């Protein structure tokens, strides 16, 4: 195992913003005057700690600029509410959109942070009514909230889960419509240590949900992957000395290369 001990902020130009959007996405900033493909997603698409994310791998194979519009900890709400960034993606020849978790979407039960969607902001009255025994000031992240609710009552949690999945489908449909259907859905799935729905990424997304969107997009690319810590995929990672625990849960360089190749195969016939 080897990795470079550097600041992650140095990684491939740090972050940048496009078209007036406040979302810090992967840098360096790219020229948007020539034809390009857009890549939207969260930490996996951003390629945290990885020098060559899979968007760069696809770019090298396709010989077309692939603009990485992903942000660390971004969720579906991040893009659904960012009209400026959606405008950049809409001008692309085609957009690759990561299938992101259903837990990180604002809904009738709780609100999430507008850019870092993994963060819990506020319980809505409907959730306080459904789970009156819970002190919501204890929660900062959606996963912690939902695992706690499930532990209290699986039956009541099922109501929350069903609503989250319905909200996810509706929001995904809106984003796809904004991009005029010129979308390739990238379904990167993997398991973290432990059992249960909250240790599988993307969280609370079932096959039937993705299949319900298939007819509305150009293609669906499904790739089962493994985090770096489970397959010792650290060679070439760039990180600070304190970043190693977090890096174990990220996708390593080999997995990024594999995803980039798979995407290039699909995109080749559609651009």
> What does the pLDDT read at residue 10?
44
Per-residue pLDDT of the chain in tens (271 residues, 90 and over written 9): 444 545 444 465 689 999 999 999 999 999 999 999 999 999 999 999 999 999 999 999 999 999 999 999 999 999 999 999 999 999 999 999 999 999 999 999 999 999 999 999 999 999 999 999 999 999 999 999 999 999 999 999 999 999 999 999 999 999 999 999 999 999 999 987 655 678 789 999 999 999 999 999 999 999 999 999 999 999 989 988 889 999 999 999 999 999 999 999 999 977 7
Instruction: Give the C-alpha separation, 119 to 105, whole Å.
Output: 10
> What does the pLDDT read at residue 101?
97
Let me know: does 232 contact 1? Beta carbons within 8 Å. yes
The packing angle between helices 142-152 and 154-178, to 10°, is 150
CA dihedral 15, 98, 251, 58 (to 10 degrees): -80
Q: Whose CA is closest to 224, among 250, 257, 185, 189? A: 189
What are 39's two structure tokens? 């890549």
> What does the pLDDT read at residue 191?
86
> What does the pLDDT read at residue 9?
45
> What does the pLDDT read at residue 269?
79
> What does the pLDDT read at residue 17?
97
Let me know: does 190 contact 224? Beta carbons within 8 Å. yes
């Amino acid at each position: 195992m080897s990795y470079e001990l550097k600041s992650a902020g140095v990684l491939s130009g740090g972050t940048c913003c496009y078209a007036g959007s406040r979302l810090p996405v992967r840098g360096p900033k790219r020229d948007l005057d020539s034809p390009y493909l857009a890549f939207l997603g969260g930490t996996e698409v951003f390629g945290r700690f990885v020098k060559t994310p899979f968007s760069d791998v696809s770019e090298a194979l396709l010989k077309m600029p692939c603009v990485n519009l992903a942000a660390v900890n971004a969720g579906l709400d991040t893009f659904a509410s960012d009209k400026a960034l959606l405008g950049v993606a809409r001008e692309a020849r085609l957009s690759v959109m990561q299938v992101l978790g259903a837990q990180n979407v604002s809904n009738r039960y709780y609100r999430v942070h507008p850019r870092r969607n993994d963060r819990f902001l506020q319980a809505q009255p409907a959730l306080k009514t459904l789970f009156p025994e819970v002190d919501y000031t204890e929660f900062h992240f959606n996963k912690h909230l939902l695992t706690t609710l499930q532990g209290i009552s699986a039956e009541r949690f099922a109501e929350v889960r069903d609503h989250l999945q319905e909200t996810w489908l509706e929001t995904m449909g809106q984003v796809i419509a904004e991009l005029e259907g010129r979308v390739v859905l990238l379904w990167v799935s993997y398991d973290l240590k432990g059992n249960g729905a909250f240790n599988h990424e993307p969280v609370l997304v079932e096959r039937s949900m993705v299949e319900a969107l298939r007819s509305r997009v150009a293609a669906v690319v499904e790739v089962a992957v493994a985090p770096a810590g489970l397959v010792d995929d650290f060679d070439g990672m760039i990180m600070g000395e304190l970043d190693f625990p977090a890096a174990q849960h990220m996708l390593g360089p080999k997995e990024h290369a594999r995803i980039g190749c798979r995407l290039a195969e699909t995109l080749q016939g559609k651009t």
